[in-house]
């Protein structure tokens, strides 16, 4: 990636047809490694499941998102940082929505926020955009609605449902979002939406025709081993490698092979002689 990815880069990529790359990041060392290697770092509320061990994303708080965004920001200077607004942080009132998004922007130092939902969120999106807070939308499978939708299932599996999703996307576009995530929908619907909106679409489990793609970094690296979404491509097997290295370390500690001579600090000869006289 050349230069810094900014809010204007999204529209430029849509215009030129160059794909947008997005990975999640939740901490400083990961952000440091990924910065500039991908266009966008998403501080997702998926951290509840990936990092905090929750069953879903519903327990994640604004404080959690601010904390993790600040960590990511310290490690990233080139990639654009988008942070999820967690469950119920933008559902109660417009004032509270602006206050929570403002905390993420001011305290967390995010470049933008992301929220889930279609036409029912238009008023919130418009209020945030009017408050100079850039907003990314999210349609299809919306994890914060897992209880209402009956689980993590593919969405928009009919022409009628696809048309509804398109209308949601157009409504979000008119409200001022700069991009829309499309999650777990048929490829044909994703192409239909992507071709119909003027803002870029970022797919996750939405096929090849979106304007960009996003993956959870732990899934991509092969660290998470108990979650296997069909749409994930694992570019490594770090979970297996970490476990193997831990076993090797354990064996060397128990056998005395670690630490070796090269890992040991020693006293100067004169100081050693003083110790020997004392003891």
- Is 114 marked as binding a ligand? yes
- Is 132 marked as binding a ligand? no
- Is 116 marked as binding a ligand? yes
Question: Which among 39, 41, 40, 7 is positioned nearest to 199, based on CA atoms?
Answer: 7
* C-alpha span between 159 and 105 (Å, rounded): 38
- Is 35 marked as binding a ligand? no
Query: Between helices 159-175 and 122-130, what is the axis angle to 10°?
Result: 20
40 in Cβ contact with 79 (< 8 Å): yes
Residue 108 CB neighbours (<10 A): 22
Catalytic residue among 12, 37, 55, 183: 183
- Is 4 marked as binding a ligand? no
Active site residue 95: no
Owner of token pair 């991509």: 220
Owner of token pair 């609605």: 145
Query: Exposure string (b/e) for 58-80, b if CB count within 10 Å is 16 or more?
Result: bebebebbbbbbbbbbebbebbb
Q: Which residues are annotated as a binding site for Mg(2+)?
A: 45, 84, 116
| Residues marked as catalytic | 183
Q: Which residues are annotated as a binding site for 3-methyl-2-oxobutanoate?
A: 45-46, 84, 114
Q: Which residues are annotated as a binding site?
A: 45-46, 84, 114, 116
């Amino acid at each position: 990636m050349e230069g810094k990815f900014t809010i204007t880069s999204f529209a430029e990529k849509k215009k030129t047809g160059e794909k947008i790359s997005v990975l999640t990041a939740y901490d400083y060392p990961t952000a440091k490694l990924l910065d500039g290697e991908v266009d966008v770092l998403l501080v997702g509320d998926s951290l509840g499941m990936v990092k905090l061990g929750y069953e879903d994303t519903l327990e994640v708080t604004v404080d959690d998102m601010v904390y993790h965004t600040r960590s990511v920001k310290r490690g990233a200077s080139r990639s654009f940082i988008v942070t999820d607004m967690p469950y119920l942080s933008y559902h109660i009132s417009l004032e509270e929505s602006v206050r929570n998004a403002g905390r993420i922007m001011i305290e967390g130092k995010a470049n933008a926020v992301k929220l889930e939902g279609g036409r029912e969120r238009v008023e919130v999106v418009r209020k945030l955009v009017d408050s100079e807070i850039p907003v990314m939308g999210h349609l299809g499978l919306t994890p914060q609605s897992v209880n209402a939708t009956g689980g993590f299932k593919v969405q928009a599996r009919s022409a009628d449902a696809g048309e509804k999703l398109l209308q949601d996307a157009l409504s979000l576009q008119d409200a001022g979002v700069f991009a829309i995530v499309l999650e777990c929908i048929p490829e044909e619907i994703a192409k239909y939406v992507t071709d119909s909106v003027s803002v870029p679409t970022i797919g996750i489990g939405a096929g090849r025709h979106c304007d960009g793609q996003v993956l959870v970094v732990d899934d991509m690296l092969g660290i998470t081993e108990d979650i296997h979404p069909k749409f994930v491509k694992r570019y490594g097997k770090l979970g297996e490698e970490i476990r193997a290295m831990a076993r090797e370390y354990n064996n060397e500690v128990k056998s005395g092979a670690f630490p070796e001579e090269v890992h040991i600090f020693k006293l100067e000869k004169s100081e050693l002689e003083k110790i020997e006289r004392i003891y």
